[in-house]
Amino acid sequence: MKGRLVVTAVAVVLALLLQTTVLPRMGWPDAGLGLVPDLLLLVVVATALTTDARFATLTGLSAGLLLDLAPPADHVAGRWALALALVGYVVGRLGHDNDGGEETRPNGWVALAAVIGGSFLGTSVYALSGILLSDPAMPLGELLPVVLMSIALDLVAGLVVVPLVVLAHRAAARVGSAPTGRVSPGWGSARATSVRRTVQ
């Protein structure tokens, strides 16, 4: 559990820094969009694929709040928190059958579908919440092209981000479940009985 929290926290912070400082310089302002891959959304998707829906929902909520408050945010706070929390919940529920919170190993097609679906859901919820709150980041007529472009960018970035986060979660799970090297009482008792019989 501790390893999972550390991996998630590091991934969220790195994604937030890259998304708010580095990637905006690489956007396409000439196209009038200025879109960049949503790295935080991809971290939430990867977390949902390797953990349970509850943990992924909390991860999405936390990551979304950080993105809402990080400068240069120019929208009503809570919109990204809602969008990423929904992404974490939906992908966590539909991406795999997770009984008891056990780690799963999603295949490539499941991960691909999760990235596409998560990107569509997150971008759409964010955009529609802006319209409902009279805080639109774009005109309604431009909504569909922006959503499609966002999915394409997230899909390309997801080929790198999602496998890295999944591998990090698996490594943390292996470290957390590694044997401590202690001798079990049953083995020690059996050996002691065998030694006593040999001496007799």
Domain coordinates in residue numbering, the chain: 2-199
pLDDT at 75: 75
pLDDT at 176: 67
Task: With cut-offs at 50, 70 and 90, classify the pLDDT of residue 100.
Answer: very low
pLDDT 10s digits, 9-28: 999 999 999 988 888 776 55
Q: Is the pLDDT of residue 46 over 70?
A: yes
pLDDT 10s digits, 178-194: 555 544 444 444 544 44
> 2-199: which CATH architecture?
Orthogonal Bundle (1.10)
Mean pLDDT of 62-78: 84
pLDDT 10s digits, 112-135: 999 999 999 999 898 888 778 876
pLDDT 10s digits, 31-40: 444 578 899 9
The C-alpha atoms of residue 97 and residue 69 are separated, in whole angstroms, by 33
Percent of residues, the chain, with pLDDT higher than 90:
42
C-alpha angle with apex 101: 96 to 104, nearest 5 degrees?
A: 40
Helix/strand/coil for 8? helix
Q: Is the pLDDT of residue 30 over 80?
A: no
CB atoms within 10 A of CB 196: 9
Q: Which of 61-65, 135-139, 194-198 has the highest mean pLDDT?
A: 61-65
The lowest-confidence range among 80-89, 90-99, 144-153 is 90-99
Reference 21, options 83, 67, 80; nearest CA is 67
Contact yes or no for 16/161 (Cβ under 8 A): no
The C-alpha atoms of residue 2 and residue 41 are separated, in whole angstroms, by 22
